Each structure stands twice: as C-alpha cells, then as structure tokens.
Structure 1
Amino acid sequence: MSLTVSPQFTPALDPGFVPAVLWNRAYAAKVANDSGSRKLDLALVRTDGTAFRWSGTILAADPANDVLTIKYVERLVKFLLWQKGGSRILVAGAPDVAIALSEIYSESGLRKFDRDFIGTKIFGEPISVKAVRSVEELPEENGAAMSLGRNLEGCRIGFDLGGSDRKCAALIDGEVVFSEEVVWDPYFQSDPQYHIDGIHDTLKRAAAHLPRVDAIGGSSAGVYVNNEIR
C-alpha cells in the first residue's frame, strides 16, 4: 500500500521526491479515518538514565497497513535518535512495530550505521529495541539541563577553526574590540605543525588588541556526552 502525495512543485532533478511533511500529513489523515487506529508510545533511554518520550497514533495492525506504519515509525525513530539521542528504544502499544524496529536496527539491518554510530560510538552500546506491555512501564521523560557560558567580563578571546578559514574575536567586558577571518587549508595538511602554527597565529593576533588575556574559548565540532568527546 502507498499514500498518494502530490507536492505543489516537482524538482526537475528528482521528480520522485516527496517532502516528509506532506507524507506525514497524508499518513495522519489516514489514521484519523481508521476506526482501529492505536496509540503508540516510545521512550529513548540514554546510558546516564535520562530519557525522552514520544506519543502518537498509528494505523491499526493489519497487513495492508504495516508497510505504511513501519515506514512512518522508522523515519520518526531515526529523526529522534539524531535529534534527542539514546541507545535503548522502548515501545509500548505496538509489539509488531518493536519487532520491525529490532530488525531494522540489528547488526545487519537497514540502520546498521545509526546503530553503530549513535549507539556504540556515542552512547557506548549498540542500539536496542524492546517492547513493553504497557505505557506505564516506560520511564518518565527526564533530562539534565546545564547553563553554559554567559561570562562576558574581562578580556576574552574566542576562535573558530573552519575548513577554509580561521575566525577569531577579542572582547573587553563583552565589547568586541577586534575580529577577523584568516584563510587557511587544514583539510589537506597532514603536518600537525601547520595546525599548531595557525592556531597560535590566530590567538596572538587577537591578544595583541587586549591588555591581558583572562580566558580563551574555541568552538568544537563533534559530539560531547557528559563532557566527554565521543
């Protein structure tokens, strides 16, 4: 079974493209007209005990609906894993969906990359999927909030190491007194000294506009969990 979705505009280079938002609306409309629709609750649990909860409605369990429902939930779970994070997926209200997700996120499944990257690399364990008997067995949503930065007093330097240029700024009590971008080419430079010299040059350029340096902050790409680089 498929859904009929007709975008207003058709991309010339990808005429078969269907925006996810339109497909999801079509699925939701079908669910609204399904007298056997059912509640689905998900929990993404992280290794530190925090959890994210999602709740919604899906089509009735029926072979004619399964392809659509699995596509909907698979896309949803993939998005939530990358948006919220987690390595343990708990499913309430649809054991058939849990079975399908287990296969999709298995060692040889369609989402093997996500299983290894989000699960093993970031959270230290492969992504697992488990069906629970009722929504009451799902953990409550909880997450840690941390206030970062907001320290503007004194003489500070901020820098960003981009793929094509280095950016830096010098501030005194929150006021920018110097900023610049310097072109560089780090991607193709295998000598660590090239990178060290570039960073030192950027910091010295900014420091020259300050009476002293109280703090230095640099931007970082990548994933950090509980203050650890993953």
Structure 2
Amino acid sequence: MKFLNVDIPVKNLPELDQGFVPLGLFFKEYSKNATKPLCIAVERSGGQVGVYETRIYGTPEMKAADDYYVDRLVKFLLWSWGGFKVSICGDDAVAETIRAAYSENGSRAFDKGFMEQVYETEFVVESLPYDQKPTAVQRAESIGRHTNGGRIGFDAGGSDRKVSAVIDGEPIYSEEVVWFPKTISNPDYHYQGILAAFHTAAAKILEKGGHVDGIGISSAGVYIDNKCMVASLFLKVGKEDFDKKVKNIYTRAAKELSNTLGYDIPVVVANDGDVSALAGAMGLGENGIMGIAMGTSEAVGYVDGDGNICGWLNELAFAPVDGQPDAMEDEWSGDIGCGVKYFSQDSVIKLAPRAGIELKGESPAEKLKEVQALMAENDPRAVKVYESIGVYLGHTLALYAMFYDIRHVQMMGRVMSGKGGDIIMDVASRVMDEEYPEVTFRPEAPDEKTRRVGQSAAAASLPEVK
C-alpha cells in the first residue's frame, strides 16, 4: 500500500473495509527515513507540558506527507493528553499549517473550541526553534485503592446510575436506578438523582454503625479539579444552567450531604474511563492498564505503570486511527478516521450493510442487537463484521502503544459482549502477532475478580481518608 509517498507493508486489512490505512503503520513507515528533528509540546492545566520528539522530511516532495503526519500527530496528542497550547519546534512552515488548521475557520476549529471549553482559555499554536523546545512537566497522581472507613461510590451512566456503600473495602450495599440524564434539560433532575443515591448509600453505612468518610464519583466527561468541564450526560442542559448548576454538581451534592450529617466529607470526581482502568488494576493487582469500553462511543481510561492517573483526557474516540481519505466522518467533530467510528456501535452499524445485513432497527442500540442476534446464530455475515473490527483493533492497539506504556488492555462494553467480542479479541491478537510482534500485550476481557470490584466500588476508593 502506498500512501502520501510512503510505502506501507500491510498484511491484514478488514474484509469489509479494504481501504483502511492503519495510522500506526503509516507513522512507523513514514518515520524510517525522516531526518529533520521536530518536537511537539502540548501544555495543559497546572503548567503541565507533554513533549513528543519526532522527525519529518522537510523537503518539497514530502511536504504533503509532513503536513499530514504532523496534523494527525497533534490531533492524537491533544485528545490523548489534552491541552490549550501547542508548540511546534523546528519547522515554521509546518507550524503555520497547524496554526491555520486550529483557527476559527480551520479544519480543526471543533478541536480548538472543545479545548477552549475544557481549559477555559484561548487555544494557541506557536512556532519555536528546535533548541527552544519546552521541557516536559508531568504530575501524575495516585488514584484510588483507598479502602479504609465508610465510603460511597457513585457511577453515573447514560442509562442508569449505580451507587455502592463500602466499609473497609467490602461493599455492603449496591443498587442500580434507571434514569434519563441525556434527554432532560433541567439540571435539578440530575442533581436530585445524584443526591438521592448519596443519601441511600449513606443510610446503609450509618445502619452498620459506620461513618461516611469519603465519596468517590465515576462519571463520563472531562473533569478538572472535581469540576465538570464537558459531559454528554448533561447534553440537553443549556450553557447558563451548565455553568451555574452542572460544573459543580457533584461537589454541591456532597456538600449538601455533609451539611445533613454535620461533618465535612471529602469528594473526588474522576472520568469513568480512568475508574474502569482502576477497577482493572485493582482486580489484576497490576499497573499499566488501559481500559477500552466499546458501546455508544469509545471510552478509554489509563492507569500508568506506577498506578497513577496522568491528568490526561484519554478521549481516544476523537483521536485518529485511519488514514484513508474517504473514511467515515464523525458527525460531532466533523473529522474523519477517528476511533468512535471503529470501536463503538457505530462501527457495527457502518459495517453491517457491507456484509449484506439489512438493519431494520430505529435506534443504534436496536441495530446493534440485530447484528448480535445474528452473531449468536453464527451468521457468516455477522462474523465478517466482528472480524473486521478485530483487524481495526489489532492495528490500533499498536498505535496506542506508541503513546502509552501498556501492560494490559481490558476490553469492555456492549459491542464486546457475546461471541462477537471473542472474535474481535482473537482477530486483534492475530493481527498483532503478525504485524506488531514487538508489542507485548494482547487484548483481554476483565476477569471475574475485576468484574466484582465494579465501577462504583472502584469509585468509592478514590478519596484519600486520613
């Protein structure tokens, strides 16, 4: 396969998507003969700076490849690390291309606006000489695994909310309550649901003669200093109500419970992907864990090799994985080739017609169930869908390994359930064996111990209680 003057030796392509250009292989082959040093630095909150060293060609005949490579690299780093300032160090022309892309009317205007919302500051791209590149500043934090005392763990899902009461590491009560956070615009609905869950769990702890020592919360979205910056759970809430009632929704509810009980209760809010990775780390008793949940979207979390979270976004649903020029567009960001269309129910729905499956369901969830039902009967068309996703996954896990120190990847979510999930993991492992033997991990399903830890119980371990 030849792409932008780069030869890419691909052995495995998805049967239902023969135009797929594995971005990791492109990065790898592009870099082999590039000689001009380039550094990309990304600054995020708290003065933290991620630094990525690479090389480009810097020649007229490779300009298109250089621009594409750096564009995809910056995009990946932004959605992996998060940030509001990008420094391109070592090439003014490439820096100008990136600056134009991240302008008000540029091709990455969505990304610019999203990062400005998250970090509440203007997004900037600057060009620096290579010898003036910023220094990396990283402050990873220990996350969870605290089990002393009485704790409330809350997991805010899109279709149900879960709460656990935990005393000295042992869950004494858990419940799931159906709710509809994505369709309701009044944030008081969300607040009352959260507060009710807190009170239920607190009552169970008090019944046992315990004391509520901490509240840990797992919630989809981007959270900085326990504040909700962006979250699909509050999709219908208007901006004014969001700023006034949603940004601090979890700390407000914790404060109200504190006032009711008559003492302060520490609270920690974390992204649900990171908490799922934490649950995996607690279950396995190891670190360097990436958790990937393939459901409505692709949710990713990461606990590093020291058992810490890095303050990264890990929003890999919007990080690029495919280089083909006519890859499917993500309706939200307007970009193409991003993970959400490869590792969620959208991927199943995209591939099913190509396999000859006519989907009749109204909603994406119903369409996924149709394909899963066919898979349960070993329908060869459904097998092709899951095999193709397995090829996507094998190539993409090797891409992720370029940016993350991964020892285990745990695959979760509705798309991974049943026979289809087994096929995805088997095919992904074979692709990695054949194309990326240097990558040491393979995808795995959470074991029973990890499942028993559970998302809400893992969330309960978030606050450190003295």
Q: State TM-score, norm by structure 1.
A: 0.83
For the pair 1:58 / 2:56, whether they are aligned, the reply is yes
Q: Do residues 164 (structure 1) and 159 (structure 2) align?
A: yes
Matched AA of 1:134: Y
Alignment-derived partner of residue 218 in structure 2:
219
- Which of 116, 119, 123 is the aligned partner of 2:119? 123
Cα pair distance change 1:90/1:13, threshold 3 Å: same
Match of 1:101 in 2: 98
- Quick one: distance in 2 between partners of 1:204 and 1:22? 51
Contact 2:153–2:215 (Cα < 8 Å) also in 1: yes
CA contact (8 A) 1:166 1:183 kept: yes
Q: Out of 39, 42, 45, which is 1:41 matched to?
A: 39
Between the aligned residues of both structures, percent identity stands at: 39
1:34 match:
none
Q: Could you give the per-residue CA deviations for residues 145-173 of structure 1, whole angstroms, max 9, x where no partner exists?
A: 33444442222221112111221211111
Matched residue type, 1:219: S
Equivalent-residue separation in structure 2 for 1:48 and 1:155 (angstroms): 31
1:190/1:121 CA distance change after superposition, 3 Å? closer
Q: CA deviation at 1:103?
A: 1.3
Distance 1:134 1:189, change over 3 A: closer
Supply the distance in 2 between the matched residues of 1:7 and 1:184 (Cα, whole angstroms). 45
Task: Name the CA distance, whole Å, in 1 between partners of 2:89 and 2:26.
Answer: 24
* TM-score, normalised with respect to structure 2: 0.43
- Structure 1: which amino acid aligns with 2:197? T
Aligned amino acid, residue 168 of structure 2: D
Question: How far apart, in 1, do the equivalents of 2:135 and 2:78 lie?
Answer: 17
Structure 1 residues 220 and 133, CA, compared in 2 at 3 Å: closer, same or farther? same
- Per-residue deviation, 1:175: 1.4
- Unaligned 5+ runs, structure 2: 230-466
1: distance between equivalents of 2:112 and 2:187?
33
CA contact (8 A) 2:5 2:62 kept: no
Give 2:107's match in structure 1, choosing from 72, 94, 110.
Answer: 110
- Larger RCO (CA under 8 A, 6+ residues apart): 2
Question: Match for residue 174 of structure 1?
Answer: 169
Distance in 2 of aligned mates of 1:149 and 1:40: 37
* Partner of residue 23 from structure 1, selected from 21, 26, 37: 26
Tell whether the 8 Å contact from 1:157 to 1:216 is kept in structure 2 after alignment.
Answer: yes
Q: Could you tell me how far apart the structure 1 residues matched to 2:89 and 2:166 are? A: 52
Q: Secondary structure at the match of 2:114?
A: helix
Q: Does the 8 A contact of 1:167 with 1:180 survive in 2? A: yes
Does the aligned pair in 1 maintain the 2:37–2:130 contact within 8 Å?
Answer: no
Report the number of matched residues.
Answer: 222
Judging by fraction of residues, say which structure has more helix. 2
Q: Deviations over 1:34-80 (max 9, x none)?
A: xxx21111222236433221111222x22210111111111111111
- Poorly superposed stretches of 4+, deviation over 6 Å: none
> Which amino acid counterpart does residue 89 of structure 1 have in structure 2?
V
Kindly indicate whether the alpha-carbon contact (under 8 Å) linking 1:52 and 1:84 is maintained by their aligned counterparts in 2: yes
Q: Residue 202 of structure 1 is aligned with which of 187, 197, 205? A: 197
Which residue of structure 2 lines up, in the alignment, with residue 84 of structure 1?
Answer: 81
Residues 92, 192 of structure 1: alpha-carbon distance in 2 compared, 3 angstrom cutoff: closer
Residues of 1 paired with 2:155 and 2:111: CA distance? 28
Amino acid of the residue matched to residue 174 of structure 1?
Answer: G
